[in-house]
C-alpha cells in the first residue's frame, strides 16, 4: 500500500495537541515558489498578534541554495508577503501567506513571475479582466503509480470515470472533498470540482478572479492540495502527461473575459482576441509550462481532447481546438472564451500575463515588451 | 508498518478518559533535569496541594544520581533546584513543568550542570542586553534507528526537494512538528518558528530571541517537549549531529547573537569586533559546541553540506559555508546580529551561550589565561 509512513501517525494524538490554546500568538506560514517554477516551499514564524491585512506581515528571508535558487556563498533571498489566507490546517487565528521571492539585490528571482504579471495587470485594470482556471491533477501513491490503480498494472480503459461515482470509478474522492472544504475555509475562490477522464485524475476550478488574484488564488489552492495529500499520505502530481499511452493528460484550461466581452455584442471582442492569439502561438506555448513548451509537447498531441502543439485552432464547442468558445457564448454573442493550451504545471502568473499582453496590449512577435 | 513503538498503539481514547478526570486542588509538577551524558533529559513528577503561581512556591527535590550516570550508588542523592516553570501541555492546567539545576551531595554544581557558571557570566554582562536565537535541527527516526519514513534498508531520492517542502514525498513526519509547535506555545516557550530541513525526516525549530540565561532554559524545555511529543507518536527525535553518513546533511544548532550596541545604528562595527575576537578562540569554542569536546562535530563540520570545516575559522556575509554568517540584511542595514553556525545539534545551550558571551564581551588577549 503506497501511502506514506507519516499518514500512519496517530491523528487522535495529533488532535489533542492541535486543540491546545495558543494565547495571543499567531502562526504565519510563508509560502513561495522555488527554483523549479513548479515546486512550493513553506516555513512558519510566530507573531505576537493576529495580522488583519497583508501590510501587517513582515518581510522575511530564506536559504536559496537549498531551493535551487542561489549559491551557498551568497544564499540569502527575500520573502515579500503578497496575499494572505486563513490556515485550514492550523485554523484561526493562523495564516497562510503567499510571498514573492527577491534575490539578494532585491531584483525578482528567476521564477518570480508575479512581479511583471502584476505590472501588466495594473496597466489594463480598467478593462476588468477576469480569469477562471481549471486545474487538473493526478493522485499518485508514494511509489509514483496512480492511486488506486493495481500495482504494476492498469485499470479498465477510460470511459466510466469522468464525473463518476462508485468505488470502481472514483479513486480518492476524500482528497477532493477535503481540499474543497479547506479552500473555502481559507478564502480561496474555488468554484467547483469534478472527477476527470483518467481514473485517479481530478479537477478543481478557481475563479472568477480579477487580475493578479488569479495567480495568487491558484498557487494557494495548489499548496492546499499538496498539504491535504500529505496528510492522507498520497501525492498530487501536476505532470501534464503522467501516463503515456491511451490515457488523458492534465491541463489547466484558462477561461478569460473582459468587461467588454461580457457585455452585449461582446463576441466581437472575443473574436478579436482570438485572432491576436492566433498570430502568437509559439510565444504562448513557451509561457504555458515551466519548461518553455517541452512538458506540453508530451501532452498536446491532438488526441485525448487536446489540440496539436504545432498548430493553432479555434472553434465553438470544440475540445480539440486550442481555443474553445462555449456553445452558450456563441449563442448569446457575449461571455468569455477558453484557452485549452496551458499545462497542469503552468505558472498562472505567466499564463495570465501572456493573455493580457497579447489580447489587451496587442503585443506581437516572440518577445514580451518591456514597459 | 513503520517502526513505531508499541506504546504509541495503546488506545489514546482510553487515555483521554482518564486524563479528563478532575483533580480537585492538587497539581502535578514534573521536574526536568539534564543527566550525566550532558545530552539526555530525565523527569519525575510529584503532587502539590495547590497550584504554584511562581517558582518560589516549588520546593527543592532530589533523585538517585547513580541511575543517571551522575553519582556512585554509595552516595547517590543529588539535588534538584527549580529554575524555571512552564505550563504542562501534556496533562494541561493547573499542572507544571519545572526545569531544574542539579547539585551534587555537597551542593556544588553537577558535572553537566553548565547553567550555574553560565548564570554568573550572564550576570556580569547584563548591561549589554545580549540576545540569542538558536535554530535547533533534529532528525526523526523509527525505533529501529533508521530515519522515519525512509524505505527499509534503503534511501530516498537525493537532497533537493525537501527543504521547506510540502507533500507526502517531501515532508516526512510533519505531525510531530505541528504538535511540538502548539505544545511550546501553550507551555510558554519562546518558539520563533519551524521549517523542514534539507535532509528528508530532518526538521528545525527556532527558539528566541531570549536574553541571557533564558536561552538555555527555553531551549532545554523545548527539547523535552520534542522528545515527549515523539514518544506519544511512537518515534524518536535524535539530536545527533551526523545521523546518516554520506551525502546527507548533518544537524546543527546555529546560534544567532546580538547585543544592544549591535542592534543600534552603526552596530555593524560591534559585530565585526565580536567576530574578530571569536576568530582568536576557535578551538576553545569548538570544544564547548558539543558534549564530547568537539568529537561529535568532527563528523559534521566537513566544509560540505553548508558547514564550515572544523579546522578553520571563517566569516562572511550571507555565506552558509562559513563559521560565522552575517545575514545579508544586516550587511545592508549596518546593524543587527550575527550567526555562529558551528554548534552541533546536541550542544548544551548554556555552554554555547556562556562561551560566546565571555569571548565577545569579557575576553581580551591578555586575559586568556583566566578564561
| Interface subset of A 212-231, CB within 8 angstroms of B | 223, 226-227, 229-230
Find the CB nearest B327 among A7, A73, A76: A76
**Chain A nearest C-alpha distance from B104 (Å):** 36
- The full DSSP string for B255-319 is EEEE-HHHHSTTTHHHHHHHHHHHHTTHHHHHHHSSTTTTHHHHTT-BS-TT--BTT---EEET-
Cell 488506486 locates to A148
The answer to whether the Cβ–Cβ distance between B306 and A90 falls below 8 Å is no
Tens digits of per-residue pLDDT, B151-163? 988 899 999 999 9
The per-residue pLDDT for range A102-114, each reduced to its tens digit, is 998 999 999 999 9
Could you tell me how many CB contacts below 8 A there are between chain A and chain B? 158
- pLDDT score recorded for residue A1: 61
Alpha-carbon span B22 to B108, nearest angstrom = 40
Fold held by A5-111: Ubiquitin-like (UB roll) (3.10.20)
Sign of CA dihedral B219, B221, B224, B226: negative
Over pLDDT 70: what percentage of chain B?
99
* CA A42 centroid distance within chain: 17
Angle in degrees, CA B226, B86, B140, rounded to 5: 0
Give the number of C-alpha atoms closer than 13 A to the C-alpha of residue A346, restricted to the C-beta side.
Answer: 34
Alpha-carbon gap: A73 to the closest alpha carbon of chain B (Å): 4
| Residue-averaged pLDDT of chain A | 95
- Region for B209 from its dihedrals, namely left if φ exceeds 0, alpha if ψ lies in -120 to 50, beta otherwise: beta
Q: Which pairs with CB-CB distance under 8 Å and at least 24 residues apart come from A158-167?
A: A158/A197, A158/A198, A158/A199, A158/A246, A158/A247, A158/A248, A161/A195, A161/A196, A161/A197, A161/A198, A161/A199, A161/A201, A162/A194, A162/A195, A162/A196, A162/A197, A163/A194, A163/A195, A164/A195
pLDDT of residue B370: 60
CA contacts within 13 A on the Cβ side of A188:
31
User: Would you state the CATH architecture of domain B122-367?
Assistant: 2-Layer Sandwich (3.30)
Question: Does A16 sit within 8 Å of B16, measured CB to CB?
Answer: yes
Which of chain B's residues have a Cβ under 8 Å away from the Cβ of A44? 181, 193-195
**Cross-chain residue pair B2–A5, CB shorter than 8 Å:** yes
A43–B160 CB contact, under 8 Å: no
The kind and range of the H/E element at B179 are helix B174-187
Query: How far A53 CA sits from the closest chain B CA (Å)?
Result: 20
Backbone phi and psi for residue B11, each to the nearest 5 degrees, phi listed first:
-70, 115
Given this model, what pLDDT does residue A156 score?
94
Task: Identify the pLDDT of residue A151.
Answer: 87
Backbone angles phi, psi at B30, to 5 degrees: -100, 120
The answer to whether residues B165 and A43 touch, using CB atoms and an 8 Å cutoff, is no
Note the pLDDT of residue B305.
86
Chain A nearest CA to B198, separation (Å): 7
CB contact under 8 A, B327 and A61: yes
pLDDT digits (tens, 9 = 90+) for A72-84: 778 889 999 999 9
Q: How far apart, in whole angstroms, are the C-alpha atoms of residue A137 and residue A157?
A: 18
Residue A246 and residue A229: Cα distance in Å, rounded? Answer: 26
For the stretch B115-152, pLDDT in tens is: 999 999 999 999 999 999 999 999 999 999 999 999 98
C-alpha cell at A81: 508577503
B232–A44 C-beta distance less than 8 A: no
Closest chain A residue to the Cα of B168, Cα to Cα? A230
Question: What is d(CA B246, CA B243) in angstroms, rounded to the nearest whole number?
Answer: 10
Closest CB from B174, B327, B329 relative to A6: B174
pLDDT at position B318 over 90 = no
Mean pLDDT (chain B, rounded)? 94
DSSP state of B185: H
Q: What is the pLDDT of residues B201-238, one digit of tens each?
A: 999 999 999 999 999 999 999 999 999 999 999 999 99
Question: Do the chains contact at A230 and B168, CB–CB below 8 Å?
Answer: yes
Rounded to the nearest angstrom, the minimum Cα separation between B267 and chain A is: 20
Number of C-beta neighbours around residue B252 at 10 A: 30
DSSP string, A200-236: TEEEEEEEEEETTHHHHHHHHHHHHHHHHHHHHT-EE
Please give the grid coordinates belonging to residue A152.
504494476
Domain boundaries, chain B: 6-112, 122-367
User: Is the model's pLDDT at A157 over the cut of 80?
Assistant: yes
Position B306 scores a pLDDT of 84
Residue with cell 497542469: A344
Of B178, B233, B318, the CB nearest to A10: B233
Lowest mean pLDDT among A209-223, B65-79, B233-247: B65-79
Q: Is the pLDDT of residue B2 over 90?
A: no
On chain B, the residues whose CB falls within 8 A of the CB of A236 are 167
What ipTM describes this predicted complex?
0.83
pLDDT value of position A305: 86
CATH top-level class of A121-360: alpha beta
Closest chain A residue by Cα to residue B159: A66
Query: How confident is residue B369, by pLDDT bands cut at 50, 70 and 90?
Result: low
Say whether A17 and B182 touch across the interface (CB within 8 A): yes
Instruction: Report the pLDDT value the prediction gives residue B79, as an integer from 0 to 100.
Output: 96
CB-CB contact of A176 with A202 (8 Å)? yes
Residue A221 has which C-alpha cell? 489552492
Out of A103-112, A197-206, B315-324, pick the least confident. Answer: B315-324
User: Rounded to whole angstroms, how far apart are CA atoms B97 and B31?
Assistant: 6
Q: A41, A88, A179, A222: best mutation site toward chain B, by most B Cβ within 10 Å?
A: A41
pLDDT, tens only, B70-81: 988 788 899 999
Looking at beta carbons, which residues of chain B come within 8 Å of A61? 327-329
Pinpoint the alpha helices (H) of chain A: 11-18, 114-123, 173-186, 213-232, 259-262, 267-278, 281-287, 294-297, 327-332, 348-359
Interface contact A10-B316, CB threshold 8 A: no
Q: What is the CATH number of domain B6-112?
A: 3.10.20.70
In A, minimum Cα distance to B174 occurs at: A6
Instruction: Tell me which residue has cell 472533498.
Output: A177
pLDDT of residue B76: 86
User: Residue A174 and residue A176: Cα distance in Å, rounded?
Assistant: 5
Residues 54-93 of A with CB under 8 A from B: 61-63, 65-68, 72-76, 89-90
Chain B residues closer than 8 Å to A25 by CB? 185
- Which runs of E-coded beta strand occur in chain B? 27-34, 41-48, 61-64, 77-87, 96-103, 131-141, 191-196, 202-211, 236-238, 253-258, 315-317, 324-326, 338-340
pLDDT of A76 = 87
Asked whether the beta carbons of A25 and A48 are under 8 A apart, the reply is yes
Q: What distance in Å separates the CA atoms of residue B309 and residue B322, rounded to the nearest whole number?
A: 8
In A, residues 139-158, which contact B (CB 8 Å cutoff)?
A: 142
- Choose, out of B168, B230, B256, B337, the residue to mutate when testing the contact with A (most A CBs < 10 Å): B168
The answer to whether the Cβ–Cβ distance between A76 and B318 falls below 8 Å is yes
Integer Cα distance of B160 and A278 in angstroms: 39
Residues on chain A touching B133 (C-beta within 8 angstroms) = none
- Verify whether the Cβ–Cβ distance B172 to A4 is below 8 Å: yes
Query: Which of these, B63, B203, B74, lies nearest to B147 by C-alpha position?
Result: B203
* Cβ-Cβ contacts under 8 Å, A13 against chain B: 8, 12, 179, 232-233
B-interface mutation test, from A6, A141, A178, most B Cβ less than 10 A away = A6
DSSP state of A28: E
Q: Is the dihedral of CA B6, B9, B12, B14 positive or negative?
A: negative
Whether residues B186 and A20 touch (CB distance < 8 A) is answered with yes
Amino acid at each position: 500500500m503506497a501511502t506514506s509512513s507519516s499518514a500512519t501517525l496517530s491523528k487522535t494524538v495529533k488532535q489533542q495537541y492541535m486543540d491546545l490554546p495558543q494565547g495571543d500568538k499567531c502562526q504565519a506560514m510563508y509560502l513561495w515558489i522555488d527554483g523549479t517554477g513548479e515546486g512550493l516551499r513553506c516555513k512558519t514564524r510566530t507573531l505576537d498578534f493576529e495580522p488583519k491585512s497583508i501590510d501587517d506581515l513582515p518581510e522575511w528571508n530564506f536559504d536559496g541554495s537549498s531551493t535551487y535558487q542561489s549559491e551557498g556563498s551568497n544564499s540569502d533571498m527575500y520573502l515579500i508577503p503578497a496575499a494572505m489566507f486563513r490556515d485550514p490546517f492550523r485554523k484561526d487565528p493562523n495564516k497562510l501567506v503567499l510571498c514573492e521571492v527577491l534575490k539578494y539585490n532585491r531584483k525578482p528571482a528567476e521564477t518570480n513571475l508575479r512581479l511583471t504579471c502584476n505590472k501588466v495587470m495594473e496597466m489594463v485594470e480598467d478593462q476588468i479582466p477576469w480569469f477562471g482556471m481549471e486545474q487538473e491533477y493526478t493522485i499518485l501513491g508514494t511509489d509514483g503509480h496512480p492511486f488506486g490503480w493495481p500495482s504494476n498494472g492498469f485499470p479498465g480503459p477510460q470511459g466510466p470515470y469522468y464525473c463518476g461515482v462508485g468505488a470502481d470509478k472514483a479513486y480518492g474522492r476524500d482528497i477532493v472533498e477535503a481540499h474543497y472544504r479547506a479552500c473555502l475555509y481559507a478564502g480561496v475562490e474555488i468554484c467547483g470540482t469534478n472527477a476527470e477522464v483518467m481514473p485517479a485524475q481530478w479537477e478543481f476550478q478557481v475563479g472568477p478572479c480579477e487580475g493578479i488574484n488569479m495567480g495568487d488564488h491558484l498557487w494557494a489552492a495548489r499548496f492546499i492540495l499538496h498539504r491535504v495529500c500529505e496528510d492522507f499520505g498520497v501525492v498530487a502530481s501536476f505532470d501534464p502527461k503522467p501516463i503515456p499511452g491511451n490515457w488523458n493528460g492534465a491541463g489547466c484550461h484558462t477561461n478569460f473575459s473582459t468587461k467588454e466581452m461580457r457585455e452585449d455584442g461582446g463576441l466581437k471582442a472575443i473574436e478579436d482576441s482570438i485572432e491576436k492569439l492566433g498570430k502568437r502561438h509559439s510565444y504562448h506555448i513557451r509561457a504555458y509550462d515551466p519548461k518553455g513548451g517541452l512538458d506540453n509537447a508530451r501532452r498536446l498531441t491532438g488526441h485525448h481532447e487536446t489540440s496539436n502543439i504545432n498548430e493553432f485552432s479555434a472553434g465553438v464547442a470544440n475540445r480539440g481546438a486550442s481555443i474553445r468558445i462555449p456553445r452558450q457564448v456563441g449563442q448569446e454573442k457575449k461571455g468569455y472564451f477558453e484557452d485549452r493550451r496551458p499545462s497542469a504545471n503552468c505558472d498562472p502568473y505567466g499564463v495570465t500575463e501572456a493573455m493580457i499582453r497579447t489580447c489587451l496590449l496587442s503585443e506581437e512577435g516572440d518577445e514580451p515588451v518591456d514597459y | 508498518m513503520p517502526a513505531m513503538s508499541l506504546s504509541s498503539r495503546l488506545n489514546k481514547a482510553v487515555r483521554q478518559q482518564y486524563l479528563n478526570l478532575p483533580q480537585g486542588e492538587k497539581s502535578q509538577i514534573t521536574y526536568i533535569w539534564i543527566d550525566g551524558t550532558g545530552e539526555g533529559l530525565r523527569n519525575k513528577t510529584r503532587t502539590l496541594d495547590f497550584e504554584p503561581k511562581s517558582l518560589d512556591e516549588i520546593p527543592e527535590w532530589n533523585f538517585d544520581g547513580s541511575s543517571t550516570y551522575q553519582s556512585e550508588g554509595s552516595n547517590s542523592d543529588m539535588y534538584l533546584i527549580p529554575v524555571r516553570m512552564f505550563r504542562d501541555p501534556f496533562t494541561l492546567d493547573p499542572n507544571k513543568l519545572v526545569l531544574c539545576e542539579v547539585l551534587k551531595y555537597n551542593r556544588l554544581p553537577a558535572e553537566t550542570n553548565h547553567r550555574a557558571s553560565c548564570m554568573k557570566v550572564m550576570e556580569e554582562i547584563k548591561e549589554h542586553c545580549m540576545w540569542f536565537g538558536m535554530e535547533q535541527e533534529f532528525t526523526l527516526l523509527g525505533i529501529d534507528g533508521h530515519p522515519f519514513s525512509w524505505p527499509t534498508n534503503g534511501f530516498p531520492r537525493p537532497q533537493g526537494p525537501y527543504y521547506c517542502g510540502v507533500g507526502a514525498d517531501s515532508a516526512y513526519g510533519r505531525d510531530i512538528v505541528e504538535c511540538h509547535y502548539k505544545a511550546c506555545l501553550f507551555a510558554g516557550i519562546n518558539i520563533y518558528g519551524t521549517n523542514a530541513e534539507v535532509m528528508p525526516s530532518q526538521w528545525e525549530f527556532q527558539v528566541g530571541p531570549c536574553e541571557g540565561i533564558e536561552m538555555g532554559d527555553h531551549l532545554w524545555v523545548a527539547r523535552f517537549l520534542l522528545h515527549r511529543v515523539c514518544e506519544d507518536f511512537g518515534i524518536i527525535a535524535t539530536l545527533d549531529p551526523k545521523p546518516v553518513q554520506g551525502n546527507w546533511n548533518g544537524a546543527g544548532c546555529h546560534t544567532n547573537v546580538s547585543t544592544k550596541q549591535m542592534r543600534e545604528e552603526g552596530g555593524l562595527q560591534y559585530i565585526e569586533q565580536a567576530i574578530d575576537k571569536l576568530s582568536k578562540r576557535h578551538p576553545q569554542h569548538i570544544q564547548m559546541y558539543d558534549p564530547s569536546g568537539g568529537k561529535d562535530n568532527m563528523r559534521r563540520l566537513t566544509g560540505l553540506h553548508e558547514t564550515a570545516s572544523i579546522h578553520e575559522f571563517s566569516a562572511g556575509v550571507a555565506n552558509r559555508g562559513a563559521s560565522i554568517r552575517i545575514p545579508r540584511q544586516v550587511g545592508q542595514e549596518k546593524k543587527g546580529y550575527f550567526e555562529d553556525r558551528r554548534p552541533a545539534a546536541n550542544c548544551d545551550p548554556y555552554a554555547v551561550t556562556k562561551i560566546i558571551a565571555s569571548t565577545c564581551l569579557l575576553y581580551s588577549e591578555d586575559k586568556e589565561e583566566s578564561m
